[in-house]
Amino acid sequence: MLNTKLITVVALQITLNLVRSTVFNIRDYGAIGDGKTDDTRAILETIANCTVNGGVLYIPTESGGELSQLTIRDFVITSSVVPKSLDKFAIYAEDLVRSQIQHLIINSNDSKNFPVPGGIAMVGVADTNTVRDVLMWEIKGTGIEIGHGSEIRILGGRIVGANVRFDQSIGIHCTGNNGGVHLQNTDVIALGTGMLIENSSGAGSNREIFIAHATIDSNGRGLVIRDNSYVSIIGIWAASSTIDQIFIDVNTTAILSISGGTIFNGGVYECPNNSNWCNGLTVNSGTFILNGVEVRNNKGRGIWIPNISVTQYQIIGCRIFANGQGLNVTGSSFIITNNVCNSNQLPNVISGKESSIVHSNLGC
């Protein structure tokens, strides 16, 4: 339902284009969209006509504005009948603010021929939008794309890819200049990349990303950070992805903080090359704190820091257990204390100890 009483249509584009490309414009059904007129009837009629054979529900933009206080809830959006290019989304919104998208199922009735491209794109200002309990199945494009702006909450729900692990699919993509992205209790499973934080199409880094008790599982790579974001995680479950469970690229000043949870089973499905794949946490730049985390059963390295530029990191009170190799770390001015590193296959490698504190560990 569109809660039209709350719509002040100034500028917005929402596209439900999974079935046919016929466009159903609410204005053709009598919607005024001046923020005063109650357009409920017109919009309901547009939806009714749109859903007969499928199509695009289009709420047109006027230049320079934004759409505020929109609620979209209790829908199933199904891909069928025609194939779509992977850059399409079930819901595509520009300049959507203070809005809620809840209780949707986004799927395909024939995922072989008509896979789901993307789920939800919020490409513009996102001044507190909430996505709650949205289930997406067999995503081949991007599950949720978050553009510039601030305050997005993704609460609950599940984003599942096509289980290829090496396709171009992305569960959640923060494209840049984004402050305050909250991900809570959401599952992100079986995609090429689980969550991608980068600065490719936005202006400036993503800023604060908060992840609490999310499941990032069975992807090609789990959480990938390629910009200068601050990423705060509590209770991570990052598991069973092939290349890395958590990865920070070179040339960032990223700050990652992880408290509690587990990083495990890297490469469990396949591990063609455990000299650089199948790792738990791989950090190439920036810094991090890992506190009270279990890093276990990764076929490659539990924690791999190949780059001397990584500095002032801390690994404290973790259990680094039964990996191909527990620690293979370099860098400077780091602290590794109070960890247990038993039952790893290869011996640990810790270089850069001169400027660092490494003590009170068992087996590290």
Catalog residues that contact ligand NAG under the rule CB under 6 A.
48-49, 80-81, 109-110, 176, 199, 203-205, 227-228, 250-251, 273, 275-276, 284-285, 306-307, 309, 325, 328, 346, 349
Please state the closest distance from residue 41 (CB atom) to ligand NAG, in A. Answer: 12
Please state the closest distance from residue 295 (CB atom) to ligand NAG, in A. Answer: 16
In the complex with ligand NAG, which residue's Cβ is closer, 113 or 360? 113
Identify residue 137 by its one-letter amino acid code.
Answer: W
Please state the closest distance from residue 200 (CB atom) to ligand NAG, in A. Answer: 8
Please state the closest distance from residue 161 (CB atom) to ligand NAG, in A. Answer: 20
Query: How many C-beta atoms lie closer than 10 Å to residue 343's C-beta?
Result: 13
Residue 327 burial (C-beta neighbours within 10 Å; 0-12, 13-18, 19+): buried
Identify residue 232 by its one-letter amino acid code.
Answer: S
Query: How many C-beta atoms lie closer than 10 Å to residue 354's C-beta?
Result: 7
Please state the closest distance from residue 284 (CB atom) to ligand NAG, in A. Answer: 6
Nearest to 90 by CA among 110, 117, 124, 115: 117
Nearest to 170 by CA among 150, 152, 151, 189: 189
In the complex with ligand NAG, which residue's Cβ is closer, 186 or 229? 229
In the complex with ligand NAG, which residue's Cβ is closer, 268 or 349? 349
In the complex with ligand NAG, which residue's Cβ is closer, 204 or 260? 204
C-alpha–C-alpha distance, residues 76 and 83, integer Å: 18
Q: Are 281 and 306 in contact (CB under 8 A)?
A: no
Residue 338 burial (C-beta neighbours within 10 Å; 0-12, 13-18, 19+): middle
In the complex with ligand NAG, which residue's Cβ is closer, 15 or 228? 228
In the complex with ligand NAG, which residue's Cβ is closer, 46 or 129? 46
Whole-number Cα distances in Å, 284 to 146, 237, 245? 25, 21, 14
Nearest to 198 by CA among 144, 118, 275, 254: 254
C-alpha–C-alpha distance, residues 130 and 96, integer Å: 11
In the complex with ligand NAG, which residue's Cβ is closer, 178 or 328? 328
Q: Are 271 and 277 in contact (CB under 8 A)?
A: yes
In the complex with ligand NAG, which residue's Cβ is closer, 177 or 215? 177
Please state the closest distance from residue 308 (CB atom) to ligand NAG, in A. Answer: 7
C-alpha–C-alpha distance, residues 2 and 93, integer Å: 14
In the complex with ligand NAG, which residue's Cβ is closer, 7 or 278? 278
Tokens of 39: 């357009």
Most distant CA pair in the chain, distance: 74
Whole-number Cα distances in Å, 223 to 170, 208, 280? 10, 15, 11
